[in-house]
Amino acid sequence: MYCNLNTLRKLTLVLIFFATGFNLMAQVAQAPLAHPTVPAIIEQVKKKYAPDKRVAVFQVEPDSNKLRGKTNLPLAKKELLGRLKNNGFELIDEVKLLPDVKELEDKIYAIVNVSVANIRTQPKEAAELATQALLGTTLKVLDKDRYWYLVQTPDNYIGWVEGTTIKRFVKTDIEVYGSKPKLMFAKPFGFAFTEADENTQTVSDLTWGNLLTVKDTLADYYEVAYPDARNGFVLKHEVVSYQEWKKITSPSPESLTKTAYRMMGLPYLWGGTSWKGVDCSGYMRMVFQTNGILLPRDASQQAFVGEEVAFENLQVGDLLFFGEKSTADKPERVVHVGMWIGNNEFIHSSGMVRISSFDKESTRYDAGNAARYLRARRILGLGTDKGIVSLKN
């Protein structure tokens, strides 16, 4: 009896051992689904290819034994899958590559069809305004959510636009559009009319930088066409040839200052990049775009183009950046930008477009921004090697 009990105990221990072993093996088999290195690998690839979510889509995460999400970066997706496989993680690939050609029916390009299209952070009217795009601007279309489209602007900024404000095209149609001569509206505000008479019904409002294709030339008007094939008439003295404008536009301290002053008093609008309202970086972008230079969209992006310049060596046209200085615990944070205009003053959009001073004795003294001044960058006279994009190219 003793022998039998002892044998039974041994058998019980053996069974417990095998049961525990199988349980551990099952956990190991499932480990890739919740293993901390899976999100770590995803984060590494994201930091390499898409550190700035404003200009790239990389929304990927593990879900059970699958890898879900979407990205517009084929190389990033390829590297991610390779890294996971090399580390022993065999996940089913369900990452959508953008643009989603099938969902978009090959219409992966669009042209802005209103004077100013609002581009938002999410596909809904109540979402934050991220940026704007002007009539005639060509956009890449990446994805769709009901009647909203995820688009990318010529400066790579990404956001959602309401479908009625754009006209989508296939690639060949966009190429035809690009070859047509364009007129650029050169006044702050105006209209296109249904007839060659400014007392007739309007087709739409217009603002500086709007592009329209030419259909016919009359005595005092041009007949123009919109992206959606609407026709209208614009006064000749309110438009210029876009191709000719790009050739003759030459940025200088004087031209930048003149443009900046023309927008004095314009209201501050978060996400605004047009004469209808501007935020701080949108204002700087408009000032330089009017003079043939395309700056990045946001202040934190503008702070990395051009060359750094010491405060005592500032020249008219240099960009000034403000925010929070770096510490041992956190990096520098750029939150505001303005342009140096000399005499210890800078012009910027804060509440409205206005002039502020670093001089404590001046009535324009701006103590708040003086305290959070970070550094300055020079834009004029520099080329593509410094991140400067000329509209001539």
Residue 348 falls in the annotated catalytic set? yes
- Spatial neighbors of 122 by CB under 8 A, at least 6 apart, are 128, 160
Residue at token pair 């009017």: 290
Distance CA 173, CA 57 (A): 26
Helices 74-86 and 37-49, axial angle in degrees (round to 10)? 150
Region for 351 from its dihedrals, namely left if φ exceeds 0, alpha if ψ lies in -120 to 50, beta otherwise: left
280 is catalytic: yes
- Annotated catalytic residue, options 3, 35, 237, 348: 348
Phi, psi for 174 (deg, rounded to 5): -65, -40
Assigned token pair, 291 = 């003079």
Instruction: Judge whether 336 counts as a catalytic residue.
Output: yes
What are the tokens at 352?
Answer: 């409205």
For 255, the token pair is 């031209």
Residue pair 102/83 in contact by the 8 Å Cβ criterion? no
Q: How far apart are CA 137 and CA 139, in angstroms?
A: 6
Q: Is 295 in contact with 285 (CB distance < 8 Å)? A: yes
d(CA 123, CA 55): 17
- What residues have CB less than 8 Å from 384, skipping those under 6 apart? 390, 393
Contact 192, 233 (CB under 8 A): yes
By CB atoms closer than 10 A (0-12, 13-18, 19+), residue 294 is middle
Catalytic residues, which ones? 280, 336, 348
